[in-house]
Amino acid sequence: MESGSAAKIQIAGLFRPEAIELNLQAADEEAVLRELIEKLPELKGRPDDQERLFKALWERERLCSTGIGDGVALPHVRNPLPDTITKPVIVFGRHSEGVEFGAIDGKPVQLFFLIASTDTAVHLYVLAKLSRLLRRPEVREALLKARTPAAVLEIISDAEAHLS
């Protein structure tokens, strides 16, 4: 995807049902990242690339947590990995009890959005737009209650349609 097309991206279009996990089992930060990576359809059966992505995500978390508060984290790498991922995707994971993730407000994280992108402009656009969507309490609450991946997709799509 070309950098100039970043503004045309629909966030809802970056989610895929097979990349949505409504019952994360991980007990810690490292395990959450690994569980989210396993949901990336593009990396199925590619353990070396999964490990490469994990190391990049882990390095980013050690630099500064991607836990933005209000029970939300946006794990992402500092620099896109175009040779690992061929198109942007968001993996969504929800943890019923929450996981300590070094969030800015010190609270456990329940909603995880792993952002994998192919270029910096797209990466920054997705990060900014997703952050705006998730500032709305009603969006977070709806995601906590969603029962199916289809419901998650509908919530994100509807929220995006109503962004001001």
**Sign (positive or negative) of CA dihedral 154, 159, 160, 162:** positive
Identity at 78, one-letter amino acid code: R
Report how far residue 123's alpha carbon sits from residue 95's, in angstroms, rounded to the nearest whole number: 24
Q: How far is CA 130 from CA 44, 83, 101, 138, 154, in A?
A: 25, 24, 19, 14, 15
Q: Residues 34, 150: contact at Cβ < 8 Å? A: no
pLDDT digits (tens, 9 = 90+) for 33-54: 999 999 998 899 999 999 999 9
The rounded mean pLDDT for the chain is: 92
Residues comprising the chain, all counted? 164
Domain coordinates in residue numbering, the chain: 13-161
Q: How many CB atoms lie within 10 A of CB 126?
A: 23
pLDDT band at residue 65 under the 50/70/90 scheme: very high
Report which of 79, 72, 75, 78 is spatially closest to residue 95, judged by C-alpha positions.
Answer: 72
Candidate CATH numbers 3.75.10.10, 3.40.50.970, 3.40.930.10, 2.60.40.3670; the one for domain 13-161: 3.40.930.10
Averaged pLDDT, 107-123: 93
Q: Which helix (H) or strand (E) holds 104?
A: none
User: Whole-structure pTM over 0.75, yes or no?
Assistant: yes
Report how far residue 143's alpha carbon sits from residue 111's, in angstroms, rounded to the nearest whole number: 8
pLDDT digits (tens, 9 = 90+) for 7-39: 678 999 999 999 999 999 999 999 999 999 999
